[in-house]
Amino acid sequence: MIWTTLMFAIDAMLLIGCLVAIYWQGQIVIRSRYNLWPLLMGLLIMSFGSVGTLGLDQIDKWLFIVGLSAFILNCIQAGVGGIGDKRLVNSGFFSATVQYDRLAGITLIPLTLPNGKERVVAIFVTNAQQRIQLSFSQALPTIQKELRSLVPGNTPIEVQNIEQ
């Protein structure tokens, strides 16, 4: 009975997390590059933590399967981040959204990779000195224009060039 209640509560939290992630990811205007780290860590944790469904009754087996599926879905969703039309969407399993008026500054760093592809690394610094880093495949002017339309006018957007 306690196991069933615990599994039901965990499943509910994971499914609510999926729904919240779907909502905020639906607000993204410019997607950042997919972050594989949460998915890899989730699969690693799952491989150590999954004990199977041996010895569980039918309802507990289904709760375990739903919970495992929701956990994997959360790990897949955790790699998505970007510039949303209402908030900045950070990637990561325990990620959060950040209101644009809580940003102290933004640094954009355009890069040319050895294979010739262009990337823009954006570092967002919050008023609480938290740093959020996202990588974009879009051109620098596109990202600048979108950020300028979303962030307050007093938030500095700095472009730094790295000598290569």
pLDDT value at position 69? 85
pLDDT value at position 127? 93
**pLDDT by residue (tens digit) across 30-59?**
999 888 888 888 888 777 655 565 666 778
pLDDT value at position 54? 61
103, two tokens = 């940003």
The DSSP 8-state label assigned to residue 145 in this structure reads H
pLDDT value at position 142? 94
43, two tokens = 């699969």
pLDDT value at position 161? 86
In this prediction the pTM is: 0.81
